[in-house]
Amino acid sequence: MEEKIKNILEKILQQDFSQKDLKEINMETCKNWDSLAHLKIIISLEEEFDTEIEPDEIYLMKEGALKIKEIIEDKLK
């Protein structure tokens, strides 16, 4: 799952995260991660994991990649 999330983030944020830990990837460390990019990430996550992400979860996911992973894991349980 971590790889899939990284792939989505790399594609949308146009940045290489192969050497980065999920906890290092967030809106503060990625200059391209603005609100539009965030929504595109959400839509890609929904497609990739065949799930629907609710507005409150979209908000929480702004914390960064690690939070994204936690929420997606929780949803797929």
* Sites of contact with other proteins (CB under 8 A): 36, 39-40, 42-43, 52, 55-56, 58-59
Give 24 or 59: the residue with its C-beta nearer to other proteins: 59
Q: How far is the CB of 55 from other proteins (least distance, A)?
A: 4
CA distance 56 to 54: 6
Give 16 or 56: the residue with its C-beta nearer to other proteins: 56
Q: How far is the CB of 2 from other proteins (least distance, A)?
A: 25
**Angle formed by the axes of helices 2-13 and 35-49, to 10°?**
140
Give 5 or 42: the residue with its C-beta nearer to other proteins: 42
> Distance of CA 18 to CAs 10, 25, 27, 39, 59, Å?
9, 11, 17, 22, 25
